[in-house]
Chain A
Amino acid sequence: MAPLSPEIAVASGWHRQAYRRVLVGYAFILPWVIGFLLFKAYPIGASFYISLHQWDLLKPPIYVEFENYVRLSRDPLFWTSLLNTLYYALCVPLRLVLALALAMLLNRSWPGINAARALLYLPSATPVAVIAVVWTLMYHPTFGAVNTIFGYAAIRGPKWIASPEWAMPALIFMSLWYVGPMMVIFLAGLKGIPSVLYEAAAIDGASAWNQFKNITLPVVSPVILLNLVMDIILAFQVFASIYIMTGGGPMNRTLVLALYIYQHAFVWLNMGYASALAWGLFLLTFGLTLAQMRVSKRWVFYQ
């Protein structure tokens, strides 16, 4: 097609190119856009809509306005599950500390260090259901490994997941066991710190703690933030291990919100109320993440 003049040729070519570029760009991300609309955006909205109804799937839904939310605010089990969720999330700082500590331990070139790293990561590569089942038996007060080992040290171990006081601590303790991914992320971050910094500080007479505080922590702080945010989000959603190990008991002391939502949605088929609870969880997660991001500006050191 012969152009009329060089200027017009360039003009029409540019526009067409730009237009095509935009189209192509959107075409490539189209799968995600569809997925986002179908599996994230629409369900969140629909979930709110359902929460305004009472529905058990067998009979038609009944519009009840905000009744479910009122019920939620008066439901002692909702507040219990909320508290339990936050209680369980206490495992996150513990996991962070352990992951960082292990990463620092692994940050040397001893022989066999890679094997150690693999063994420490191994639990994270195992299915959660397997871990849950093994730890259920490990926590048995009489025949479990944990109390047996305590017994070797002449300590009378508590009843763990059978006891209302110790059930949640037991779950938190177990969660320390799969810090693999976080540990590896920290390790990568640590490896990026040149050793000259430490050597210079040592020459200056800085103690190990000072070196840690002034060199390691600041450099690693963005990584800490990332791990913190992601881990809390995940901790709020934990389901499989609690479902398998305690089912929410004893006495609802390990009933976290994720489990409570499951009970209402898929055991008692209270779709409306379950949706209201789910929105509660969503707002909690969202709010907490935003808060963390805001606070992070104060303590995270970006290079």
Chain B
Amino acid sequence: MRTLARTNRGHAVAGAVLLGAVILGILLPPGLARAQQAVTLDFWAQTDSAVVPFVDQMVARFERENPGIKVNTQHFGKWTELWPKILTAVATKTVPDVVRVKEIYVFELADRGALTRLDEFARRDGSPKRGEIVPALWDAATYKGGLYGYPQFAYVMVFFYNTDAFKRAGLDPEKPPVTWEDMKATAKKLSNPSENAWGYAPYEYGTREMVFAWWLAHLWQAGGEVWNKDYSKIAINSPEGVRALEYLVDMIKAKGMLPPDTPRTGLVESGKIGMWQTGGWSFPAYAKYAPNLKYRTALQPKDKQHANLIGLDVLAIMKESRKQEAAWKFLSFMNSEENNVELAAQYGHLPVWKRAFSKPPFSTDPNWKVLVDALQNYPRVKPRSSQWEELSQKITPHLQDAYFLRKSPKEALDAAAQDATRFWQSIGGNASKVADK
């Protein structure tokens, strides 16, 4: 009995020591590591897979030029993963230091008081100045007059076309369609549904916010607007809106456009799509995944007017971050004119500095020139509003109904406007909650 007790106690002690060691082993190293680093910045960004190495290289260069600052880059493949994470982080106070976000997130985060206002930093350093940056982009990064994001890239959505496909169909690759009527006719000529080859493919189907965003370009081309004059209602079911949706639905019905239940992945790369909607960010992707694809870019066809969807990516500093100075250094480095131009070319986006457009490849490559043209002459920046994503997702299911030919464009848009307006009013939506244009 006594031996039993002794060894039993021995076991208990040993067990406790082991457990303690295990727990210490987990808690201690990260703590030690943190004590040794000077400053570590947590950087969250959405990064397309083909571009990840370039971003990492530039971040590494920043670390070399700024010893004592280390950057932990977390690349998210999808915006739909990054955005909820940022929101939760804000709510649980576990925010990163720097984030790369789209213009709509700038608005929403600034609206929630989660971003640092950058005007002071900019004034102190003398850069960036509004005059040096494309004005539409600067404005897109502001919220109620203050600058909350350092503009990084402009993404321009135009359309691409496969020159080989054009030649095969007997079309002139130098003359892409210019009006909606041209587009419909060309799409029909390039289609061959039995071989899963389609004349035109839009950016994406589904219920994501982007599905609404790319359609907006067509709404603007027809002369319509998202809201009514006093911003109290959603007005996408105006005659212009119906016309913009009918244009697309007609193409689907005529089998010139990719149907909504066919994923676009891989079809462009294997040459099955004649024309498709995308932006410069596809340049690096095609270089990697479809090196034999021959394509050109062109302005989206016009109806009443030209309009191309412009978006802006910014780098922003989270208000709760405790490393504001180091974060600003990082922002200034990544977006300095020189680095911005270099990284932009890798991304396939446009830099934000006006001077950059007179330099190659933006001034020399015909595909880039189209993007610059769109940005400088026919831009429509995506509207920013409170809870824009949730608002968009009230609309996208109805667009899907129209694309799947379950509802007529008018029915779909009426329902969408109703749902969206109800939501808009429930959050107290009015002119002060929108930055449109």
A19 contacts partner chain B, Cβ-Cβ < 8 Å: no
- Assuming the A-B contacts A58-B91, A142-B196, A142-B267, are A268 and B400 also in contact, with contact meaning beta carbons closer than 8 angstroms in the complex? no
CB of A141 within 8 A of CB of B262, answer yes
The chain A residue sitting closest to B91, CB to CB, is A57
Mostly, the B contact residues are loop
Residues of chain A lying within 8 A (CB to CB) of residue B88? 266, 269
- Assuming the A-B contacts A249-B206, A249-B207, are A269 and B266 also in contact, with contact meaning beta carbons closer than 8 angstroms in the complex? no
A56 contacts partner chain B, Cβ-Cβ < 8 Å: yes
Between A and B, 13 residue pairs with Cβ closer than 8 Å are A56-B91, A58-B90, A143-B265, A159-B262, A162-B262, A162-B263, A164-B261, A250-B261, A251-B397, A251-B404, A269-B87, A269-B88, A269-B91
CB of A163 within 8 A of CB of B267, answer no
A295 CA / B432 CA spacing, docked (Å): 59
0 or 1 for each of A230-256: is its CB under 8 Å from B? (1 = yes): 000000000000000001011110000
A154 contacts partner chain B, Cβ-Cβ < 8 Å: no
CB of B80 within 8 A of CB of A247, answer yes
Residues of chain A lying within 8 A (CB to CB) of residue B404? 164, 251
The chain A residue sitting closest to B266, CB to CB, is A143
Residues of chain B lying within 8 A (CB to CB) of residue A252? 207, 397
- Assuming the A-B contacts A140-B263, A142-B196, A162-B261, are A250 and B206 also in contact, with contact meaning beta carbons closer than 8 angstroms in the complex? yes
A249 CA / B205 CA spacing, docked (Å): 10
Range class of the B interface residue count = 20 to 34
Residue numbers of A with Cβ under 8 A of B are: 56-58, 140-143, 159, 162-164, 247, 249-252, 266-269
**With contacts defined as CB atoms under 8 Å apart, how many contacts are there between chain A and chain B in the complex?**
50
CB of A251 within 8 A of CB of B207, answer yes
B373 contacts partner chain A, Cβ-Cβ < 8 Å: no
Closest 10 CB pairs of A and B: A57-B91, A163-B261, A267-B84, A162-B263, A159-B261, A251-B400, A143-B266, A162-B261, A249-B206, A58-B91
CB of A142 within 8 A of CB of B261, answer no
Residues of chain A lying within 8 A (CB to CB) of residue B91? 56-58, 269
0 or 1 for each of B131-173: is its CB under 8 Å from A? (1 = yes): 0000000000000000000000000000000000000000000
A269 CA / B263 CA spacing, docked (Å): 30
- Min CB distance A187 to B, Å, is 37
Residues of chain B lying within 8 A (CB to CB) of residue A143? 265-266
B112 contacts partner chain A, Cβ-Cβ < 8 Å: yes
A178 CA / B206 CA spacing, docked (Å): 29
A19 CA / B267 CA spacing, docked (Å): 75
The chain A residue sitting closest to B419, CB to CB, is A76
A140 CA / B196 CA spacing, docked (Å): 13
A143 CA / B196 CA spacing, docked (Å): 12
0 or 1 for each of B21-55: is its CB under 8 Å from A? (1 = yes): 00000000000000000000000000000000000
- Min CB distance A242 to B, Å, is 14
B92 contacts partner chain A, Cβ-Cβ < 8 Å: yes
Residues of chain A lying within 8 A (CB to CB) of residue B263? 140-141, 159, 162
- Min CB distance A61 to B, Å, is 13
The chain B residue sitting closest to A59, CB to CB, is B112
- Min CB distance A112 to B, Å, is 39
0 or 1 for each of B193-214: is its CB under 8 Å from A? (1 = yes): 0001000000001110000000
Partner of B266, one of A140, A164, A250, A251: A140
B181 contacts partner chain A, Cβ-Cβ < 8 Å: no
- Min CB distance B91 to A, Å, is 4
A273 CA / B250 CA spacing, docked (Å): 40
A140 CA / B265 CA spacing, docked (Å): 9
B63 contacts partner chain A, Cβ-Cβ < 8 Å: no
A170 CA / B207 CA spacing, docked (Å): 20
The chain A residue sitting closest to B387, CB to CB, is A268
B390 contacts partner chain A, Cβ-Cβ < 8 Å: yes
- Min CB distance A109 to B, Å, is 44
A55 CA / B400 CA spacing, docked (Å): 31
Residues of chain B lying within 8 A (CB to CB) of residue A141? 262-263
A159 CA / B92 CA spacing, docked (Å): 40
CB of B266 within 8 A of CB of A266, answer no
- Min CB distance A193 to B, Å, is 44
Residues of chain B lying within 8 A (CB to CB) of residue A268? 390
- Min CB distance B259 to A, Å, is 9
Residues of chain B lying within 8 A (CB to CB) of residue A251? 207, 397, 400, 404
Residues of chain A lying within 8 A (CB to CB) of residue B260? 250
Residues of chain B lying within 8 A (CB to CB) of residue A57? 91-92
CB of A267 within 8 A of CB of B87, answer yes
Residue of B196, B206, B261, B265 ringed by the most chain A CB atoms within 10 A = B261
The chain B residue sitting closest to A250, CB to CB, is B206
13 extra A-B contacts, CB within 8 A, seeds A56-B91, A250-B205:
A57-B92, A58-B90, A140-B263, A141-B263, A159-B262, A162-B263, A247-B80, A250-B261, A251-B397, A251-B404, A252-B397, A266-B84, A267-B83
A266 CA / B85 CA spacing, docked (Å): 8
- Min CB distance B276 to A, Å, is 15
A164 CA / B259 CA spacing, docked (Å): 12
Residue of A140, A143, A163, A251 ringed by the most chain B CB atoms within 10 A = A251
A192 CA / B87 CA spacing, docked (Å): 55
CB of A58 within 8 A of CB of B265, answer no
Residues of chain B lying within 8 A (CB to CB) of residue A162? 261-263
